[in-house]
A and B are shown apart, each in its own frame.
Chain A
């Protein structure tokens, strides 16, 4: 197996193009990313440190760092980096690799559950239908949650890419394995 850097370039490169991920090599540890980071103001997230950890191949350390998940993907660092490092997309790629190895919290897995069940990360319920009626809209929008055949298309995507297996989704109970109400 190659280094974490190689994996990032291979995996993220397929989506963003290899050059995009290869910008990681340009990092000079100036810290401008960290200085402008709204998360770093309040959390242990040090963007510069994440970049250095990735370059030093500290694979397990970076995958297990809770602060990896405290980036809001605001792109401030991405915009300001004087070396053109595509920081936010590199962080998203690191997260993808971490998630594939099971580093994903239950609340984060649940977002996938809602989408597989309803087509929406934030589904509608009876109370919200009343809110819609109060502003003169149909009680339910014509989205995937309303149309079963359309929802099945979304579910087909999740099955094809293996997202269901990645989060331990159980199609019989329509929630995470072991989470169904008894």
Chain B
């Protein structure tokens, strides 16, 4: 009971990033709604920017990437709250920056000299949490299960972890990146099955500036991944990353333009899928406003 009481008064600083609030606000609405359902508050981070994208800005100039990320961390530190995110890019960027700045005093001094120009400072007093870990570890599978009103027993979900939720494991700390379990656990509380499929651990193809470098080539990785999920009998794909969502959902329109086939394979962020299982409507979760359409099976 004590643990439950603690969870009920918890507040997080919600780091929105770019794609969640600016392309798929359904992910933001679903996440805020579900956390609130379990007594967890999300506070806005006024003035937060792009995380910035770790594989992009980290690839171009890590000495710009780091202070931009540190500024975002400092905003949460000023709020005296831990961070929660809904994108693996944001998770990767902020958690890696936090890790490097805590370990390396010289780097911290250099970064703070820049932040000092506008009166901010990285202190190392926040923590970067992924929303699906909050669901799994803070709310817990038991309480989630109790809230399911529309079991998904006849649904096969292709779980897609994305890359930067799990890797590098020495920074992320979620155990083996080859045998993850958090998404499977979260799907199973709804009664859904999570079949193994060939390209389950494969990247969506978008990261590291690859989508920008050559979009058709990056869509080809995704095409292979979706085909392997469909061949395994999956009805939809569920993931923890807004950036993967952009590639996997809107990318299906681009795939149609590039390859002439529209898969219409449903893509859902984890809290959108859980939202359906908890009786929220397609509209409330923003699922009626994306490229891929939801089958009756998920909406019944």
Q: Which residues of B contact A95 (CB under 8 A)?
A: 59-60
Say whether B168 contacts A75, CB under 8 Å: yes
| Closest beta carbon of chain B to A54's beta carbon, Å | 15
Q: How far is the CA of A39 from the CA of B208 in the complex (A)?
A: 11
In A120-154, the 8 Å CB interface with B consists of: 120-124, 128, 131-132, 134-137, 141-144, 147, 149-154
List the B residue with the shortest CB-CB distance to A114.
Answer: B50
Q: How far is the CA of A157 from the CA of B55 in the complex (A)?
A: 19
Which of A10-18, A24-32, A55-63, A173-181 interfaces with chain B?
A10-18
List the B residue with the shortest CB-CB distance to A110.
Answer: B212
Q: Which residues of B contact A73 (CB under 8 A)?
A: 54-55, 58-59, 163-164, 207-208
Q: Which residues of B contact A69 (CB under 8 A)?
A: 209-210, 213
Q: How far is the CA of A42 from the CA of B28 in the complex (A)?
A: 34
Number of B residues near A (Cβ < 8 Å) is: 73
Say whether A15 contacts B107, CB under 8 Å: yes
Partner of B217, one of A43, A78, A123, A149: A43
Interface string of A105-128 (1 = CB under 8 A from B): 101100110010001111110001
Q: Does A156 contact B (CB under 8 A)?
A: yes
Interface string of B57-91 (1 = CB under 8 A from A): 11111111011100100000000000000000000
Say whether A115 contacts B49, CB under 8 Å: yes
| Closest beta carbon of chain B to A136's beta carbon, Å | 6
Say whether A111 contacts B53, CB under 8 Å: yes
Q: Does B286 contact A (CB under 8 A)?
A: yes
Among A72, A88, A166, the most chain B Cβ lie within 10 Å of the Cβ of A72
Say whether A131 contacts B59, CB under 8 Å: no
| Closest beta carbon of chain A to B126's beta carbon, Å | 18
| Closest beta carbon of chain B to A65's beta carbon, Å | 12
List the A residue with the shortest CB-CB distance to B63.
Answer: A161
Interface string of B147-183 (1 = CB under 8 A from A): 0000000000000000110011100000001100000
Say whether B66 contacts A135, CB under 8 Å: no
Number of A residues near B (Cβ < 8 Å) is: 67
Q: Does B29 contact A (CB under 8 A)?
A: yes
Say whether B48 contacts A143, CB under 8 Å: yes
Say whether B217 contacts A115, CB under 8 Å: no
Interface string of B102-118 (1 = CB under 8 A from A): 01101100000010011
Q: Which residues of B contact A41 (CB under 8 A)?
A: 221, 224
List the B residue with the shortest CB-CB distance to A143.
Answer: B48
Say whether A147 contacts B29, CB under 8 Å: no
Say whether B25 contacts A135, CB under 8 Å: yes
| Closest beta carbon of chain A to B201's beta carbon, Å | 8
Q: Which residues of B contact A14 (CB under 8 A)?
A: 63, 106-107
Q: Which residues of A contact B100 (CB under 8 A)?
A: 15-16
Say whether B220 contacts A157, CB under 8 Å: no
Q: Which residues of B contact A141 (CB under 8 A)?
A: 16, 21-22, 28, 44
Q: Does B1 contact A (CB under 8 A)?
A: no
Partner of A154, one of B45, B71, B106, B289: B71
Say whether B285 contacts A135, CB under 8 Å: yes
Q: Which residues of B contact A115 (CB under 8 A)?
A: 49-50, 52, 57, 68
List the A residue with the shortest CB-CB distance to B176.
Answer: A79
Q: Does A104 contact B (CB under 8 A)?
A: yes
Q: How far is the CA of A131 from the CA of B68 in the complex (A)?
A: 28
| Closest beta carbon of chain A to B125's beta carbon, Å | 19
Interface residues of B (CB under 8 A from A): 16, 18-19, 21-23, 25-26, 28-29, 44-50, 52-64, 66-68, 71, 100, 103-104, 106-107, 114, 117-118, 120, 163-164, 167-169, 177-178, 201-203, 205-210, 212-214, 217-218, 220-221, 224, 246, 283-286, 289
Q: List 10 A-B contacts (CB under 8 A).
A: A15-B62, A70-B213, A73-B207, A79-B167, A95-B60, A124-B22, A142-B46, A144-B47, A156-B117, A163-B60
Apart from A111-B212, A137-B28, 19 more pairs, CB < 8 Å: A71-B210, A73-B54, A73-B164, A76-B201, A79-B168, A88-B168, A99-B61, A100-B61, A108-B213, A122-B22, A122-B50, A122-B246, A141-B16, A141-B22, A152-B118, A153-B118, A156-B114, A156-B118, A157-B67
